[in-house]
Amino acid sequence: MENKIKISVIMPVYRVEEYVARAIESIQAQSLKELEFLIVDDGSPDNSGAICDRYAETDDRIHVIHKENGGAPSARNAAMELARGEYFYFMDSDDWAEPQMLEELYRLAKRDRAQLVVAGFYIDTYYDEDRFRTDDFFVEDAVYPDRESFRRNAYALFDKNLLYTPWNKLYEAEYIQKNRLRFPETLWDDFPFNLSVVENIERVTVTSSQYYHFIRKRAESETAAYRPDMYGKREEEHGWMVDLYGRWGVHDARSREMIARRYIERFLGCVENLTNPKCDLTYRQKRREVRKMLGKQRVAQSVRLAKPRSFYMKVLLLPVRWKNVTLTLLEAAVITLVKTHSTKLFARLKAGR
């Protein structure tokens, strides 16, 4: 049986009792049957673990691991130590996948001897119980047979958010295990893990096909919460990106513009984080923080290099360009207002930035 496992599907589970059944069933429904499904109950306090156990009773491909809570990175890493498939696929427990996903990703991986296959995906943003907006993320089909061709074109994949998450990718197990690549136990672990994967990758296949549905719905989602340490994390991430391109020796205009625009868009998100209703800083403290942020040299450099794709993003960058603390905070408050009162409008604006 071990030699017949083509893909090890790995899924951490924590407080998702309303969603996990659909995630499991979307993997059970895959047209590729030669898989193992490693579900890690990360000490979930609700019924998530019990739900997973019930599915395991009727499907011998499902193996549920129960452990003390340690976060999604530790859960994924624990499963990777046990995984036996030729390839790894990482699922999130509150999303779902189209039934042909694994078969088609596996076919591309074998066709091109790819160490990594990158696919498009959907983001389904729910603005009430049954209605949602779907945004498409993909680039054209491509095969990069060597490091140089991938590195020259990676900017386009970063630009479409295709290299940040693990769930739109198939990873060659031998490459992952040989290089001892693991998810770092930190906030937003997906990005540094994927940076470690692509740093020395040689063979990458990209498909424009979309299979995965990332669901934006839960009010308690990490992406919607106030984060006191957000600015520091974003600065750290930007440093990782700059360091990666430095090690690659890739400094062309398109790559530099992508890095600058990526930074300044996330910079605005950090300012908006300060106007989140859950932020308990006083207005004076917020002004002090924004003034320090606007004074960073990399902000001025990024604003100068970035070429916003929409008119409203150009407008949003004007207060940053002027280093105007009052206007920067004011527009952040407007973004927060839209974000908290009109999910549909916020999703449309974010997708069109």
Domain identity same for 182 and 272: no
Vertex 133: Cα angle to 72 and 339 (nearest 5): 70
45 near 15, Cβ under 8 Å? yes
Query: Which tokens go with 108?
Result: 């591309």
Q: What pLDDT, on a 0 to 100 scale, did the predictor assign at position 222?
A: 42
Domain identity same for 95 and 244: no
Mean pLDDT of 37-49: 97
Domain identity same for 203 and 260: no
Query: Of the candidates 186, 216, 246, which is a domain's last residue?
Result: 216
Return the half-sphere exposure (C-beta side, CA atoms, 13 A cut-off) of residue 219.
5
Domain identity same for 133 and 268: no
Domain identity same for 134 and 240: no
- For the entire predicted model, the pTM comes to 0.93
Q: How many domains does the chain have?
A: 2
Domain identity same for 236 and 135: no
Q: What pLDDT, on a 0 to 100 scale, did the predictor assign at position 224?
A: 62
Rounded distance, CA 339 to CA 220, Å? 14
| Residues contacting residue 54 through CB under 8 Å, at least 6 positions apart | none
- pLDDT tens track for 189-234: 999 999 999 999 999 999 999 999 999 874 444 446 789 999 999 9
Check whether 3 has a pLDDT greater than 70: no
Query: Of the candidates 216, 250, 271, which is a domain's last residue?
Result: 216
Q: Give the CA distances from residue 239 to residues 23, 76, 162, 353, in Å, rounded to whole numbers and listed in that order.
A: 34, 25, 19, 23
Q: What pLDDT, on a 0 to 100 scale, did the predictor assign at position 130?
A: 81
Assign 3-state DSSP to the chain and report helix, strand, coil percentages, each to 5. 50, 20, 30
Banded model confidence at residue 1, pLDDT cuts 50, 70, 90 = very low
Rounded distance, CA 7 to CA 37, Å? 9
Q: What pLDDT, on a 0 to 100 scale, did the predictor assign at position 39?
A: 98
| Residues contacting residue 228 through CB under 8 Å, at least 6 positions apart | none
Domain identity same for 204 and 313: no
CB burial class (10 A; 0-12, 13-18, 19+) of residue 269?
middle
Domain identity same for 235 and 211: no
Query: Of the candidates 216, 238, 253, which is a domain's last residue?
Result: 216
Domain identity same for 208 and 102: yes
Domain identity same for 300 and 186: no
What residue type is 152 in one-letter code?
R
Check whether 237 has a pLDDT greater than 70: yes
Mean pLDDT of 313-325: 96
Domain identity same for 273 and 182: no
**CATH code of residue 98:** 3.90.550.10
Range of the domain at 122: 2-216
Vertex 226: Cα angle to 223 and 232 (nearest 5): 90
Domain identity same for 53 and 195: yes
